[in-house]
Structure 1
Amino acid sequence: MKSIRIVHLISTFAIGLFAGLLYTFEQGVIPALMTLNATEYARVEQGLIRSLDAFPTGVIVVANLAMLLPLYPLVRLWQQRNTAYWRLTALGWALFFFGVGIFTIVLNVPINNAVLAWDPAAPPADWENARSTWNTLNAIRTPINYVSFLLMIWASFEMPEG
């Protein structure tokens, strides 16, 4: 049971770190990006994307830990799937995995890749549409991440003894 507690703690921390990142974007980065013209936006956004993707133990590792680690207690405690701990963990994991992880990979990352291909000196005419779509998608996945984080915290209080 100790291994389950440790894995749950690490995965909850990873989900919380990702929630903090998304919160930072919603509250600080996006409002600042909204003040930039096309050339400034392209340069700054490309820098952000490259810096977040470049550090090997950064966002990608944290997101993968958050998406995969909760599977360990769910599999190990399959016989206890009727408990509040198991159900809360399963729901928290599913929300993060699909509502944040897969959502990001399928919807946000293609926009990031398109932005990386822009010439900052001559961004495409529809650059504001790309920015708006990315911001809308982020506004959807951010509260999903918050809920998954809260469910994982709640689950930690429901963890079976032993």
Structure 2
Amino acid sequence: MTADIGLGLSVVATALWSGLLLTLTTILHPMFAPRGAAGFTEDMRRFLPIARRSPTNYVLVVALVVSPVVALVGLWHQAGSAPFVLTAAGLAATVAGPLLMSSRLAEPNYAVILSWDPDAVPPDWGIARSRYFRLNWQRAILTWLALGLFVAAAYLYYT
């Protein structure tokens, strides 16, 4: 029962987070990319404070980490089985992407972007913008990988 709940919630939480990252990378990136320094800075000043403090972020990140742990506890008697290994790999991708990459790399970059004055953006602003886009894509890929691993684990567990 614990494995059922953990695997189910892992798939749901990761799918929801995947949707957020799909929206960010395929809809918002193309909106932000053509903007000049001042426009990009203004966009980020509107977007980032809301995105960073959204309760959705906090709830989903906790669910992304806790759900696979619950699944692994339920699968412990099957340690070494394909569902266990796939769930553990999905947890590793989740911790590496949405958790560590966000807190250690993306958040400091957000602070840099938010420190800019739209009327006096530093000449090297494009580096931070490129880093912003790249980190979003890297987190998205790790999240999509985790989703695939959780779906595969659930499929194998239930069949």
Identity %: 28
Which residue of the partner structure matches residue 20 of structure 2? 21
Q: CA deviation at 1:23?
A: 1.3
1:17-53 CA distance string (max 9 Å, x none): 1111111122111111111111111111121111112
TM-score, L = length of structure 1: 0.89
- Of 71, 74, 77 in structure 1, the residue corresponding to residue 75 of structure 2 is 77
Which residue of the partner structure matches residue 3 of structure 2? 4
Local SS of the residue matching 2:113 = helix
TM-score, L = length of structure 2: 0.90
Letter in 2 for 1:49: L
Letter in 1 for 2:65: M
Q: CA deviation at 1:55?
A: 2.6
Residue pair 2:3, 2:73 contacting (<8 A) in 1 also: no
Which residue of the partner structure matches residue 110 of structure 1? 108
- Of 75, 90, 93 in structure 2, the residue corresponding to residue 92 of structure 1 is 90
The reply to whether residue 153 of structure 1 matches residue 151 of structure 2 is yes
The reply to whether residue 44 of structure 1 matches residue 53 of structure 2 is no
Residue pair 2:3, 2:71 contacting (<8 A) in 1 also: yes
Task: Assess, with a 3 A threshold, how the Cα gap between structure 1 residues 25 and 55 changes in structure 2: closer, same or farther.
Answer: closer
Q: CA deviation at 1:80?
A: 0.9
Q: Which runs of 5+ in 2 are unaligned?
A: none
Q: CA deviation at 1:126?
A: 1.4
Q: CA deviation at 1:160?
A: 5.9
Structure 1: 4+ residue segments shifted above 3 A: none
Name the Cα RMSD after superposition.
Answer: 1.7
2: distance between equivalents of 1:28 and 1:117? Answer: 25
| Matched residue count | 159
Q: Which runs of 5+ in 1 are unaligned?
A: none
1:100-134 CA distance string (max 9 Å, x none): 32112111111012112222232222111100112
Task: Assess, with a 3 A threshold, how the Cα gap between structure 1 residues 78 and 105 changes in structure 2: closer, same or farther.
Answer: same
Letter in 2 for 1:34: A
Which residue of the partner structure matches residue 53 of structure 2? 54
Question: Larger % of helix: which?
Answer: 2
